[in-house]
Amino acid sequence: MSWITLLMFVTIAVFALSKVLPVKGVKSITTEDLANDLSLKVKKQYIDVRSEVEYNDRHIPQFGNIPLHLLKQRVNELDKKKPVVIICHSGMRSIGAAKILKKLGFEQIENVSGGINAWRD
């Protein structure tokens, strides 16, 4: 294997891992943790970053919808000082949303592991 091929492989691997690894400073929570918070009416900002179509098909009532592609434009709807819980379909887009919010100065971010797929109504 040439050094160019090896370099390309390493670059692709690092890029792929950066998309799926947890974001530093973002707490990963289970759907059980989420259900507990919701039943106790814990004051957090609950955001579903799936598309409007996906959200309308099925969502958790306490979650508002801010699609990932609109998050930067609509971030002013969120309070940086309050905890934010993010959910998506499987947990991948919410990782992207967490990265965006972290860069924008949010400090209390929670990502729902497994997304809406893991949620049981």
- Residues annotated as catalytic are 88
Cα–chain-centroid distance for residue 27?
A: 10
Phi, psi of 29 (to 5 degrees): -120, 155
DSSP 48-108: E-S-HHHHHHS--TT-EE--GGGHHHHGGGS-TTS-EEEE-SSSHHHHHHHHHHHHTT---
